[in-house]
Amino acid sequence: MSVVVVTGATGTLGRVLVPALHAAGHHVRAMTRTAGRVRSSYEVVADVLDPSTLGPALEGADCVVHLASNPRKDTRRTEVDGTRNVLAARPPGASLIYLSIVGCDRTPFPYYRAKTAAEALVRAAPDGYVVRATQFHSLAGFMTKPRVLGRSVVPRGALMQPVAEDFVASVLVGAVGDPGGAPAEIGGPEQLTMAEIARRVHGSHVISLPIPGRFVAAVRRGSLLAGPDAVTGGAPLGAV
């Protein structure tokens, strides 16, 4: 089986993808910036913003699954500069699969603009492939968490298509074996309003407000929903 390096291995998806790749028989290197974050013998310490660390981490790789991301700090540096560094450090002939977000190019938000810019770098590179996913179950739950007197406050009419992290991981495991056949988009099995998500996940009362702004307007129009050619499936969003 191939040697696969996963950047962002300690993130929400990385923690699921690394063992899935290992179970599929691949030789996995779980890349993290801090030693000891991955409790396994296949941890490798490197930083996408430090090119000097990437050569040893990526040496001999057949495929790099690039998940490293930081929506809260140094967003554009991590997405754009980090992706450029990883692309440059790949061994010749190694493929790179970059995980992005469905609708990032049509949803006005700084983090999404950075993802869109990183996508352009990947698509322009040889053996570079972009796979977009809808919002993970964990994020959908966090965004609708009750915060006001036990009630969830959500934008009225905002639509999402939450996808289970293990389903995305399973699709990426398949893509590692055939990067050229990787789907452009991965989505969950249902399209739900954020009010429906709040009731299903938290069982909470919901305050649904007509929140203004370009971001919410785009989400109401369905900018975060997967297209008709997306690979969809996985467990429906369930109650906790």
Using 50 as the pLDDT threshold, list the residues of the chain that sit under it.
Answer: 239-240
Please name each of the domains of the chain with its CATH number: 3-232 (3.40.50.720)
The pTM of the whole model exceeds 0.85: yes
pLDDT at 73: 87
pLDDT at 172: 98
- 178, 23 contact by CB (below 8 A): no
pLDDT at 74: 87
Half-sphere exposure of 60 (CA within 13 A, CB side): 8
d(CA 188, CA 235): 8
Cα dihedral 105→118→91→65 (10° resolution)? -60
d(CA 2, CA 131): 20
Q: What angle do CA 14, 227, 216 make, to 5 degrees?
A: 80
